[in-house]
A and B are shown apart, each in its own frame.
Chain A
Amino acid sequence: MVFRSMQTATMALLGIVGFTAPPTVAQQPATGTKVVQFMGLEGVKAKSTGRLTLEGGNLQFTSSNAKANVPLHLIVDVVTGNDSQRVFRGTIGTLTMFAPYGGGRFLSLFRSKVDTLSIQYRDAEGGLHGAIFTMATGKADALKKEMVAQGAHTSIPIQDDAGSSDAKPAAAKEKKP
Chain B
Amino acid sequence: MKRVLYTMAISFLLLGAQIKLAELRAQSAPTPAMKASAIQVLMIQSDEIKMPADFQISLYENLIQQLQKQGGFQHVYREGEHNAAGVTDLVVLHSTVRGFKKGSEMARNVTTVAGKTSIDVHCQFTDKDGKTVLERDLNGKVRFLGGNLRATLDFAKKAAKLSHDNFAARPVS
Interface residues of A (CB under 8 A from B): 38-40, 77, 79, 81, 83-86, 94, 97, 104-105, 108-109, 111, 116, 118, 120, 122-123, 125-132, 165-168, 170, 173
| Complex interface: chain B residues within 8 A of A123 (CB) | 78
User: Is B47 part of the contact surface with A, judged by Cβ < 8 Å?
Assistant: yes
Contact A39 B58 (CB under 8 A): yes
Task: Check: B82 CB closer than 8 A to any chain A CB.
Answer: yes
The CA of A81 and the CA of B79, in the complex, are separated in Å by 24
Q: Which of B1-9, B86-94, B103-111 contacts A (4 or more CB under 8 A)?
A: B103-111
When the two chains form their complex, are residues B54 and A128 in contact, meaning their CB atoms are under 8 A apart?
no
Q: Is the CB of A85 within 8 A of B147?
A: yes
CA distance A15 to B109 in the complex (A): 43
Does B53 touch A at the CB level, under 8 Å?
A: yes
Partner of A130, one of B61, B82, B110, B148: B61
Q: Which of A122, A132, A173 is the one whose CB lies under 8 Å from B47?
A: A173
Docked CA distance A97–B110 (Å): 10
Known A40-B61, A85-B105; 10 more pairs at CB < 8 Å: A38-B54, A79-B54, A105-B110, A108-B109, A109-B106, A118-B53, A118-B57, A125-B83, A166-B52, A168-B52
Asked if B52 and A81 make an inter-chain contact with CB atoms under 8 angstroms apart, the answer reads yes
Using Cβ atoms and an 8 Å threshold, which residues of chain A touch B171? none
Q: Which residues of B contact A118 (CB under 8 A)?
A: 53-54, 56-57
Number of A-B contacts (CB under 8 A): 88
Q: How far, in whole Å, are A40 and B54 apart by their CA atoms in the complex?
A: 11
Contact status of A129 and B78, CB under 8 A, knowing A105-B109, A120-B57, A173-B47: yes
Please list the residues of chain B having a beta carbon within 8 angstroms of any beta carbon in chain A.
Answer: 43, 46-47, 50-54, 56-58, 60-62, 77-83, 102, 105-106, 109-110, 145, 147-149
Do A128 and B52 touch (CB < 8 A)? Answer: no
- Pull 12 A–B residue pairs with CB atoms less than 8 Å apart, ordered by A: A40-B57, A40-B61, A81-B52, A81-B54, A84-B105, A85-B105, A109-B106, A111-B106, A120-B57, A126-B80, A127-B79, A128-B79
Whether A108 contacts B50 by the Cβ 8 Å rule is: no
User: When A105-B110, A109-B106 are in contact, do A127 and B78 touch as well, CB less than 8 Å?
Assistant: yes
Q: How far is the CA of A85 from the CA of B54 in the complex (A)?
A: 15
The 4 nearest A-B residue pairs measured at CB? A130-B57, A167-B50, A108-B109, A127-B78
Residues of A within 8 A of B57 (CB): 39-40, 118, 120, 130-132
Asked, given contacts A126-B80, A127-B81, A129-B78, whether A79 binds B53 with beta carbons under 8 Å apart, the answer is: yes
Q: Which single residue of chain B is at the shortest CB-CB distance from A108?
A: B109
- Give the distance in Å from the alpha carbon of A129 to the alpha carbon of B110 in the complex: 35
CB distance from B36 to the nearest CB of A (A): 18
Contact indicator A168/B110 (Cβ below 8 Å): no
Min CB gap B111→A, angstroms: 8
Indicate which residue in B53, B62, B80, B109 contacts A168 across the interface (CB closer than 8 Å). Answer: B53
Question: Judging by beta carbons under 8 Å apart, are A104 and B109 in contact?
Answer: yes
Q: A166 to B58: give the CA distance in the assembly, Å.
A: 14
